[in-house]
Structure 1
Amino acid sequence: MDFTITEDQATLTQGVRDYLTGVHAPELLRALDASDSRRSADVWQGLVQMGLPGLLIPEAQGGLGLSLLDAVLIAAELGRAGVAEPLAETALVAAPLLAKAGGQEALLAAIAGGDAKVALQHPVNPWVADLGGASHVLSVRDGTLLLAGHGGDAEQLDSVDPLRRLYVPIEAAGTAVGSADALLDHAALIAAAQLVGVADAMLGQATEYAKNRSQFGQPIGSFQAVKHHLATAVVKIEFAKPVIQRAAVALAEGSASAPVHVSHAKLAATDAAWAMSETAIQTHGAMGYTYEVDLHFWMKRAWALSGAWGDRAFHLARIDAAVLGGALPIGPGHSFA
């Protein structure tokens, strides 16, 4: 499988990164953290003007018609920038599921235009992100994925990540648009991609701090102990990226092994983000625990996303069941199947 990023994908990713770097800096995260709503209409409108809600929506409904592989690249950029708006849930998870279901052209057009937001509700999560501001909700009942309109009322919960708005799940009847497994796999994949972006952001912050913080008359980044910790985290991050891309391709192709590839991706991304969190806090020392250092925004996002859409134990159990149960043959003869 060729994991080379195409020129178009590289251009798109860099454009999104440059845009988010300019408008979604740590200063914005602090402003959102200090606000009551934790959301900004201006930020959302900027994302809409960039065309991001329509990434995976067919061109006939006003979208860009891109692929799930493109989606994971953009999801990583959302994680890198610490984007708080529910763009990933609506644009990168709900939109492709609704497009595949068919008959949702009007809603897809509304999503592409930024006029509709879809919350995702699944039994694997005891909460629903951004249900309070959603116009629609995708929920699961008896293994079936249902789409329903939503008025916006919901009971809010606390989150370890102050920029994530979580709500108590609701009872929502609706129209069948797919399977519960499809929602879980898509959402877990996008969460994994965001985790890698979060880890990359923490790596950049830790590296920069190591270059500027001096001890014993030289930057701490020159010490072998610091170098080795950062290098170990980098390996985990880089090894997670192709695993995520493989899962995206398998899921897009409808491969029977896609669920186990998604679980592998979520595991690899979770481990990379946790390793980078620990390394970043060690690199920063006691300063890393303070609110004055921006690192905590990404650390809390890593903790939150690690438990979202199946925690480590959940996805490890899925892999174990596939391998030990024979659904995913292993060994040299199956390495490149």
Structure 2
Amino acid sequence: MDFTISDDQATLAQGVRDYLAGVHGPEVLRELDAEESRRSDAVWQGLVEMGLSGLLVPEAQGGLGLSLLDGVGIAIELGRAGVAEPIADTALVAAPLLVAAGGQDALLERIATGSAKIALQHPVNPWTADLDTASHVLSADSDALLLAERSGTARLLDSVDPLRRLFVPASAGGAAIGTSGALLDHAALIAAAQQIGIAEAMLAQATDYAKTRTQFGQPIGSFQAVKHHLASAAVKIAFARPVVQRAAVSLGEGAAHAAVHASHAKLAASDAAWATAETATQVHGAMGYTYEVDLHFWMKRAWALASAWGDRAFHLARIDAAVIGGTLPIGPGHSFA
């Protein structure tokens, strides 16, 4: 299994990173936080014009026809920029599932043009994100994956992340187009990828602060204890990234252990983001918890995504069941078979 990033994939991710750095910085997050809707038509349209909505849509339906591994690279950048628009759910989770289901060409064309937004719903989550603005709902009911047009009103819930819009789930319904497990695994993977970007953003903020904040006449980043904390966070992120990439290729190829790989990715990335949030907060001192410090936007997103699409206990149980149950052989002879 080859999950290395090609030059083209790296260039694509860097281009998206540069674009988002210019149009979706902390000042935009603060502006959105002040808006009741927490959403911006301009931000959404910019993402669409960048081609992100059609990233995984086949070329025949107006998309770019790229792979799930490409999608993971973009999800990392969405997490790094703190993007809360439903582009990840629609373009990186729903789109490949609709492609696999077949017979959804018209909807895929709308996704590519940005005129359709898909809300994702699964029993593992007691909420549905961005239900109020969705054109369709992709939901899991028992063993089936259901697709329906959204109808009715949506009741807003509170979230630890002020930029996430969570609603009481809609009644499941619609036509069965696949299996429910595919939704959970793909959504967990994309959440994990965003956690990598979130963790890297928090680490960068903490590192920059450590270079400028002085104590005892020198930057706090010169102190060994601070260096070690930041280095430990960097190692956790570096170890989690290939796990996420492996899961992307595994799901994209329909590998036998794809579900376990997705759980491993969610577990590793969420643990890395959680640990980095703690480290970044400590480096910032008491200010790390305050609204005045930009860090809190990414920290709250890390907390929110850690429990989305299966929390730590859920995914650890899936991995334990596979390893202890013997369905997933472990060891150097099996790791990359």
* TM-score in terms of structure 2 length: 0.99
Offset from partner CA, 1:40-77 (integer Å, 9 cap, x none): 00110111111100000000111000000001110000
Q: Name the CA distance, whole Å, in 2 between partners of 1:174 and 1:9.
A: 36
Q: Secondary structure at the match of 2:333?
A: helix
* Paired amino acid for 1:224: Q
Equivalent residue runs for 1:184-333 within 5 Å:
184-333=184-333
Percent identity, aligned pairs only, is 77
> Structure 1 residue 165 and structure 2 residue 165: aligned?
yes
- Give, in whole Å, the separation in 2 of the partners of 1:3 and 1:259: 17
Correspondences of 1:143-158 after superposition (within 5 Å): 143-151=143-151, 153-158=153-158
Q: Report how far residue 279 of structure 1 moved.
A: 0.2
SS at structure 1 position matched to 2:132 = helix
Structure 2 counterpart of 1:81: 81
The question of whether the paired residues in 2 share the 8 Å contact of 1:199 and 1:277 is answered with yes
* SS of equivalent residue, structure 1 residue 161: coil
Aligned twin of 1:100: 100
Secondary structure at 1:133 match in 2: coil
Q: CA RMSD in A?
A: 0.9
1:290 alignment partner AA? T
- Whole-angstrom CA distance in 2 between matches of 1:198 and 1:175: 35
Q: Partner of 2:5 in structure 1?
A: 5
**Deviation of 1:152 (Å):** 6.0
Q: Deviations 1:254-273 (Å, cap 9, x if unpaired)?
A: 01101111111111001100
Q: Is the 8 A contact 2:124 2:310 kept in 1?
A: yes
1:335 aligned partner:
335
Equivalent AA in structure 1 for residue 198 of structure 2: V
Kindly state the Cα deviation for residue 20 of structure 1 after the two structures are TM-superposed: 0.3
**C-alpha offsets along residues 13-43 of structure 1, whole Å, 9 cap, x if unaligned?**
0110000000001000000000010000011
**Matches of 1:64 and 1:332 in 2, distance apart?**
36
Distance 1:332 1:114 in 2: 44
SS at match of 1:126: coil
CA contact (8 A) 2:3 2:249 kept: no
1:115 aligns with 2:100: no
DSSP-derived class of the 2:310 partner: coil
Tell me the distance in 2 between the aligned counterparts of 1:294 and 1:234. 20
SS of the residue aligned with 2:287? helix
How many residues in Structure 1 have an aligned counterpart in Structure 2?
Answer: 337
Shift, 1:295, TM fit = 0.2
Q: Which amino acid aligns with 1:82?
A: G
User: Following the alignment from structure 1 to structure 2, what is the Cα–Cα distance between the partners of residues 65 and 162?
Assistant: 33
Structure 1 stretches lacking a partner, 5+ long: none
TM-score normalised by the chain length of structure 1: 0.99
Q: Give the corresponding residue for 1:35.
A: 35
Q: 1:75-129 CA deviation, whole Å, 9 max, x = no partner?
A: 0000000001000000000000001111111100001100000000000000001
C-alpha displacement at 1:164, in angstroms? 0.1
